[in-house]
Amino acid sequence: MKKLTILLLPLLVFYACSGSNQETKEFGELVFSLDTLMIDPKDEILFLQGGFRWSDTSTDKRYFYNFNYTNSVLEVIDLNKLELERVVAYEKEGPNGTGGRVGKIHYLGKDSLYFSSHFDHEIFDLKGRKILSHTTKNVSFSGGEFGENEALPMPVMWSKQPHRIVGLGRKWIEPETSFVSIDFSQRTFDRRQLPAFDILKDFHYTMEQPQVWFGPEYATSIVGEAVIFSISVASPIYRYHIPSDELELHRAIPSLTAGEKTVKPPKQVSNREEYRPVDRMLKEQINFQHPFWDDARDLFYRFSYQEIFPTNPDEPDPYRKAKVFLTLLDRDLSIVSEHEVPVIDFVPVFPFVKDGAIWMPVNLEDELGFVRLTIQ
């Protein structure tokens, strides 16, 4: 087992022989400490090229599931032992196939995973066997339907209602974003408008050659009996309470940073040369990440950041450096406190709470590690 103390390579790395040598800074009533744990891959080459977009944790946070969509392999990491426990092969085709492209995976509990793609929504066990399958392709629903050029790319499924998915319907050409709920057993489709997310329209733009559509990031997750929705360009958060079918808005406007991006991109750029300064301009403004829950402290945490680019644009720098902030919110998603976090100078990826600390997976010279941020 390796244990390192860092502030992240390129994202500033410094090493120590144990976790006792940590970078620590005080901020009012909070003290942040940062260290890193390395994972023993057991002679396997772990999949790190996906930026952990195809990853999730078990409910108790013992296991980290990392899906390699290129060869349909699930890597099961034991976070208590800090080692790869096993690799599970999934089929792409056939009765147990995951299909051509997996958009996202979510842990459902009871050793099962929800795999979502453009049309298909399926549950698999941790041995590669398909348990349940739904599709929106060539299926009619009462109450509404998907529009042309619309997708539901990152939906979630509640383990108590495996016949139903909830997510953000995205129309890229218009562009439009709305709340969408689909019940496969009842063949019903529910769409609701999200006025606080209308700002997304101002940050969609296209590139002419090659033809590419660009848009802000957004996220969904299930916390308890609720679905949380957030976007990267502004602070508002929607929460959908599943049993009561109520959708509520929480503004969560910060005072430490701007509450939204203010400088908008043009509607179109001609090529990659015109795209690069626009992309930089958007990243240097405030970016909001998705809230995540700390059950022990009864709080949500939310990172936000502003990317920092190298002074010399020709200088190779594959890591995304940033000025990082952390907001604490209560269970009603009201802000409790806000803090700059100078011990982190990189863009956090897939943060979650385990053993009283915030864990974040990182790629350290093609090895899997987890940065731990401890808050006291």
Whole-prediction pTM value? 0.90
List pLDDT tens digits, range 190-249.
999 999 999 999 999 999 999 999 999 999 999 999 999 999 999 999 999 999 999 999
Start-to-end CA distance of the chain, whole Å, equals: 25
CA-to-CA distance for 19 and 195, rounded, in angstroms?
46
The predicted pLDDT at position 99 comes to 81
The H or E element containing residue 276 is: helix 272-284
CA-to-CA distance for 343 and 300, rounded, in angstroms?
20
CA-to-CA distance for 132 and 252, rounded, in angstroms?
37
* 318 pLDDT more than 60: no
Asked which of 93-102, 215-224, 365-374 is least confident by mean pLDDT, the reply is 93-102
List pLDDT tens digits, range 332-356.
999 999 999 999 999 999 999 999 9
DSSP 84-127: EEEEEE-BSSSTTB--S---EEEEEETTEEEEE-SSEEEEEETT
The predicted pLDDT at position 149 comes to 78
* pLDDT band per the 50, 70, 90 thresholds, residue 19: very low
Residue labelled with tokens 């609720």: 226
- Of the two residues 53 and 4, the one the predictor is more confident about is 53
CA-to-CA distance for 15 and 259, rounded, in angstroms?
36
Give the pLDDT mean for 255-260. Answer: 98
Contact criterion met (CB below 8 Å) for 106 and 124: no
The predicted pLDDT at position 315 comes to 63
Give the pLDDT mean for 160-174. Answer: 90
- Of the two residues 214 and 22, the one the predictor is more confident about is 214
**Residue 364, C-beta contacts closer than 8 angstroms, at least 6 positions apart:** 6, 8, 9, 13, 36, 38
Give the pLDDT mean for 254-279. Answer: 97
The predicted pLDDT at position 80 comes to 98
**Six token digits for residue 201:** 């329209």
Contact criterion met (CB below 8 Å) for 165 and 159: no
Contact criterion met (CB below 8 Å) for 286 and 304: yes
